[in-house]
Each structure stands twice: as structure tokens, then as C-alpha cells.
Amino acid sequence: MIQNLILYNGVKLKNISLIGKRFLKFKESVTSKLNQNVITDCNSNTAFNFIRRFSSEIKENERSLNFKHFLRNSPIESSTKLARNSCKEQENDADYYNDGCCYFPEEDCVGGDEVGDNKKVFIEVYGCQMNNNDAEIVNSILTKSGYKIIDDISQSDVVLLMTCSIREGAEQKIWRRVEYLNNIKRSRIRGHRNFKIGILGCMAERLKQKILEKNDSINLICGPDAYRSLPKLLADVESGGLAANVQLSLDETYADIQPVRREPNSVTAFVSIMRGCNNMCTYCVVPFTRGREKSRPMTSILEEVKRLVDQGVKDITLLGQNVNSYRDTTAPKSFTSLAIEPIRTGFKTVYKQATSQSQACYRFVDLLDRISLVDKEVRVRFTSPHPKDFPNEVIQLISSRPNICRQLHIPAQSGSDAVLERMMRGYDVETPDVSLSSDFIAGFCGESERDHELTLQLMSDVKYNMAYCFPYSIREKTGAYRRLSDDVPSEVKKIRMIQLVDCFRSNADLINRAMIGSHQLVLVEGTSRRKKDQLYGRNDGNTKVILDNNKDNNNCINYDNEEEISEPIRVGDYVLVEVGFVDFIAMV
């Protein structure tokens, strides 16, 4: 129960109840001009601290919180004006980057409306959030070159699969999809409605020409750093040939390309800030499919964030294979980073730092600081970080900025020091009110039953809000492939993975049930798949929340000066809810 809600201008509203499913929000006319302050007087038993002081300039004393409320979302269509693409000269650093793959020079990276001739392209995305962002970059490049991106595969002239290669299961899913498309393609040939198939992303980079050799229905392969050459590749395919470009780059970040959002009216968005990884963990193929770390200039990132905010986005996730190792060396020589010690005490790197510790550069904490100030009422998240790149300054910034979500995805991978050493993770097990998620691998090379028990113990001790568990599958080129033996039987891997999932679920259920009766600040993202009269959103900790949205029960209460007005919840609204019950999928 919230008692004595007092508007800053002196209007007093007594005994506002949140029993059941009542929501609190302020009308736009009241909250415009960066919102009027609201003072909430809570009794000692209320759970208002859960709001986690979100939004601008919260000041807390013994019995009150002073915070600013939120504007209603007003999404606008994404701009169709795209910058002309230019292709930078790519460097050839070592055999690590050469693998018998081709590279198209700048003059061959053609653009212009005449190239695509309005041919229809269907893009299908598999894997991580970075692949979703890459699909938006491809959309921008092809749209600029005269292609039309469509949602109906049956009408397509070209089908592009944005692929994942992190595990064997991910690749098998792609091969099954290619076979399915091949069957459709054969039937189209008989009906004179043929289409081309292209493999993009990490699987194209890892397997390269093997893809073309294995399946003659594939016409094109293109790696993560070669998307600028797609118009040229498609033109070659239209001429009757096969086309491939999987050249990795030392500096390609697509910083000058404005991604075309796949869901332009969504209130959430992803922004890529860096690409590649230098960590060389022995189980991971990412350094070989995405290349070395390349960071976008801060100015480019801030411009994209501002565009998204102008389009009505309320929740932005910063992306990178190792997002918090971000380094932008375009900083002026006089610049001093907020990060005093970029590498956290107790951790180590397994590679030589490309940037001198004394060199002036913008680091992740500096970027996070600037982005959080673009709009103090837009939530900011980031994934996936590495534990070693969490200096105290990052943690302090998260704690001090209300709109930086206290939700961290930190891949632990294992709870055994021995396994972590073989993985070359650079840390061991010994490492507030924060939502934690993580990745775990079951059955890595040499993992004993004791190692597995230690991982289960870690999960029980930490009690993660979310966990992603996978059986280990060995990848070519990785350190494990070259130096270790994949000696854990597949059946044992599956059993251990199931045990990890069961352990996580039991602990996550306890966390969720502890939130019953608490109040949560939720950003409404859309209509629930469960029922049409329900909405879904996420709280600060990225937990999914289901909201009833019927006229009799669950309209928002808006306050326009002294007059009480009731109106429905809309996508993009921040609403204050009381949790009634939970299940494993969401809070309700």
C-alpha cells in the first residue's frame, strides 16, 4: 500500500492502492518538460527500494524518495535516408586473417539504386543479438543498393541466412534449414520461380569454401567483416556464378552505416559498440569467426543512441563479443579515462594489450557514462562482458546512475578452477542488489565429476536470475581442438547439462517467489503471446512481467493536475505494478 502520494506542486492524493493489478503513471501533459518531481511518502514496510532509484536524480532520506516520472513513448518510423557506403582499405595482419579467402577492393563494393533492381531479399537470423544487429546493417547496405527487404520468404528472390557457429548444434540447425530451402528451390525451378541462397556470418567465416563444396544449392557466402561487398557478391551470383568474401578486417566496425531496424516500432533496441574478441579462450571459436577486437568511435555510437531515443526507444542494450573491453583511441591526448585500472585486480589477460595502458583512449566506463546522460529516462544495458574488464569504476557508475540497469550477464562457464585454467578464462571462482545471468558449459575437456559438482555449487551459491547452459562441442582452430582431448562422453554431457538446468531453475524459482507482493517498475514492450488482453514488459533486472490490460481492472491511473483520468496502458509506458504470482517464465 502506498500512502500519501504528493505531487511536487502541492496537490495531495491520499490512499492510492496498488492491491491487485493497479498501475501508476502520469499523463504526458503533467510529465513533459522533463517531468515534475514527485515525492512518495512510504511506510517502512513498502518495497519502494526495488524501483532502484530509476530515473533522474533520485534523492533518498529516511522516509521519502524524490524521483521524476516518465514520458509516454511516441515512436516514429525509422528514417529511410541511408548514408552511402564506403569501403575502407583492409589490412592483412597475419595468416590468422588469411585463409585462402578473397577480398573485394573499394571500387568493387558497389552501391546505388540501380544495382539491386528492386529484387526481394528475405533475411533469416540465427544466434546471438549481434547477429540481429548485423542483419540490420545488411538491411541498410542492400536497401541503399536497390534491394527490397521483405518478410515473406515465398516472394523472395534471395534468401540470406545470418548464421551462428558457436556450437555444433547451431550449425546443424543451419544445415537442416538449407536442406529445407533446397527442396523449395527445386520446386521453384520447375515452376520458373528460382531464388538464390546465401550464408552470412560466423558459419560462413568458419567453414568458408567448404559450404559451397558441401551443398551445391548455396550460391553465396559472406563473413561478418565483408557485408559491404554484398551488392557485388549478389551481382556476381545473378551473372550465374558463385560468390564468396570472408576476409576479416582489423578495423571494420560499420560505424558509418545506419542500421535499418527490423522492428522500427519497438521500444527496445541493440547498439553494437565493438566487434571481435582477443581473449582466445580455448573452447571458443569467436576470435576466428569475428576476428580481433575493433571498437567503434564514441561519436558514432552516441549519434546512433540519440537517433534511437528520438524514435521513441526506451531500453538500449550495448553489444559486443567482449563489450566492456571497449577502447576508442580517437580520444584527445589530454583525455583522462574514468578507469584508473582497466583490468580488475585478481584477473589477467592471455594476450598482449594492443593499446598501451598510458595511451589516451575512451574506455567502456567513459562510453557508458556518456550514453547514460543522453536521456536519463532511457534504460541502458550491456552484454556480454568479461569479468576481468570490470574495474571498480564501472561498478560505481552502475550504482550511481539510476538508468543503468543492475542486470549483469557475466559468463562464468564453470565453477571449477581446474576447468577454468584449461579454458584460459584468466580468473578463478573467488570473485548488492543486482540481477545476474551467466553462461555455463557442461562437459568441457577433462571435466571430472568433482569439477561438475563445483559448478553446481557455484550456481547454488550465486543464485542466477537467468542462465544459459550448453553441452560442450569442440570447434576447429580453437586451443582446445589443438591441445586438449574432447574426452567427456556425449551422454555424460547431456546429463550434466540437465542437472545444471534443474539447479538453475530451482534457485531462480526461489528468487522470483521472493518478489511476490513487491512493486516493480516495468517498461511495457508489447502484447503477450499468452493472451491478447495481456501485455508484457521487463523490469530493471530484465525479468519478464505479464500485465493484464482489461478495462474493468487494470487501466492506468493518470493524474492531470487535480483531475483523475483513467486510460489504457500503451507500449512504451513505464508502469508501477505489484507482483501477484510468478511462474518460471514470468512474473504476473
Task: Provide DSSP, 311-332.
Answer: TT--EEEEE-TTGGG-EETTS-
Amino acid making up residue 382 = F
What is the total count of domains within the chain? 3
Quick one: average pLDDT of 492-516?
A: 92
Residue 377, amino acid: E
Please tell me whether residues 241 and 110 are part of one structural domain: yes
pLDDT(310) > 90: yes
Average pLDDT over the chain reads 75
Domain of 426, CATH number, reads 3.30.750.200
My answer on whether 488 and 534 are in the same domain is no
Q: Are residues 114 and 239 in the same domain?
A: yes
d(CA 169, CA 129): 18
Q: 439, 489, 493: which is closest to 462 by C-alpha?
A: 439
- Considering only residues 436 and 356, tell me which one the structure prediction assigns the higher pLDDT: 436
Judged against a pLDDT cut of 90, whether residue 445 lies above it is answered with yes
Domain with 527, as residue range(s), is: 5-69+517-578
**How many other C-beta atoms lie within 10 A of the C-beta of residue 442?**
23
- Beta-carbon contacts of 467 under 8 Å, excluding residues fewer than 6 positions away, are 437, 438, 439, 440, 459, 500, 501, 504, 508
The pLDDT value recorded for residue 44 is 32
Shared-domain flag, residues 482 and 521: no
Q: Are residues 193 and 137 in the same domain?
A: yes
For 21-35, 92-106, 504-518, which range has the lowest pLDDT when averaged over its residues?
Answer: 21-35
The pTM (predicted TM-score) of the whole model is 0.72
Query: Quick one: 528 and 507 in the same domain?
Result: no
Q: Give the model's pLDDT for residue 189.
A: 59
Residue 404 has pLDDT above 90, yes or no: yes
What would the mean pLDDT of 497-526 be, rounded to a whole number? Answer: 91
Nearest-CA neighbor of 295 among 340, 342, 234, 261? 342
Grid cell in block for residue 361: 583512449
The answer to whether residues 132 and 207 belong to one domain is yes
Is 45 a domain residue? yes
User: DSSP strand E in 213-314: where?
Assistant: 220-222, 243-245, 268-272, 274-275, 294-295
What's the one-letter identity of residue 321? Q
Q: Is residue 478 part of a domain?
A: yes
Q: Is 286 domain-assigned?
A: no
Q: Examine residue 468 and state whether it is found in any structural domain, yes or no.
A: yes
Residue appearing with cell numbers 505494478: 577
Between residues 97 and 121, the one the model is more confident about: 121
Closest of 52, 34, 41 to residue 4, by C-alpha: 41
Q: Which of 213, 245, 277 is the last residue of a domain?
A: 245
Q: Is the residue at 269 inside a domain? A: no
Do 54 and 27 belong together in one domain?
yes
Q: Is residue 27 part of a domain?
A: yes
At 358, list the grid cell: 598510458
- Written as nine digits, the cell of 581 is 504470482
- Output the pLDDT for position 394: 85
- Claim to verify: residue 47 and residue 143 sit in the same structural domain: no
Query: Do 53 and 59 touch, CB atoms closer than 8 A?
Result: no
Give domain status of residue 352, yes or no: no
Residue where one domain finishes, among candidates 492, 514, 536? 514
Q: Are residues 113 and 37 in the same domain?
A: no
List Cβ neighbours of 547 (8 Å cut-off, separation of 6 or more). Answer: 21, 23, 522, 524, 528, 534, 535, 536, 537, 554, 569, 575, 577
Query: Is residue 131 located within the same domain as residue 233?
Result: yes
Tens-place pLDDT, residues 379-403: 999 988 887 777 778 888 988 899 9
Q: CB neighbours of 481 closer than 8 A, spacing ≥ 6?
A: 474, 475
d(CA 221, CA 203): 9
Q: Which residues contact 101 (CB under 8 A, 6 or more apart)?
A: 208, 223, 244, 245, 246, 247
Q: What CA–CA distances, in Å, run from 577 to 50, 71, 139, 518, 524?
A: 11, 17, 38, 8, 11
At how many degrees (to 10) do helices 449-462 and 490-513 cross? 10
CATH number reported for the structural domain that contains residue 214 in this entry: 3.40.50.12160
To 5 degrees, how large is the angle CA 420–CA 423–CA 426? 65
Cα–Cα distance, 548 to 454 (Å, whole number) = 41
pLDDT above 70 for 229: yes
What's the rounded mean pLDDT across residues 548-560? Answer: 58
Q: Counting beta carbons within 10 angstroms of the beta carbon of residue 118, is it exposed (0 to 12), middle (13 to 18) or buried (19 or more)?
A: exposed
Residue 119: C-alpha distances to residues 148, 222, 352, 448, 510 (Å) = 6, 19, 46, 54, 52
Percentage of the chain modeled with pLDDT above 90: 38
pLDDT digits 0-9 by tens, 29-73: 232 222 233 223 333 333 333 333 333 333 333 333 222 222 222
| Mean pLDDT confidence for 403-416 | 84
Residue 74 CB neighbour total at 10 angstroms: 10
State which H helix or E strand residue 574 sits in. strand 574-578
Number of helices (H), then strands (E), belonging to the chain: the values are 15, 28
The reported pLDDT for the residue numbered 269 is 95
For cell 545488411, name the residue: 138
136 shares a domain with 63: no
- Helices in 22-124 by DSSP H: which ranges? 28-31, 113-116
Q: Which helix (H) or strand (E) holds 461?
A: helix 449-462
Q: Where are the beta strands (DSSP E) in 322-410?
A: 327-328, 362-363, 379-383, 407-409
Q: What pLDDT digit, counting tens, does each position of 158-195 carry?
A: 999 999 988 888 899 999 999 999 888 777 655 545 78
Last residue of a domain, one of 200, 217, 245: 245
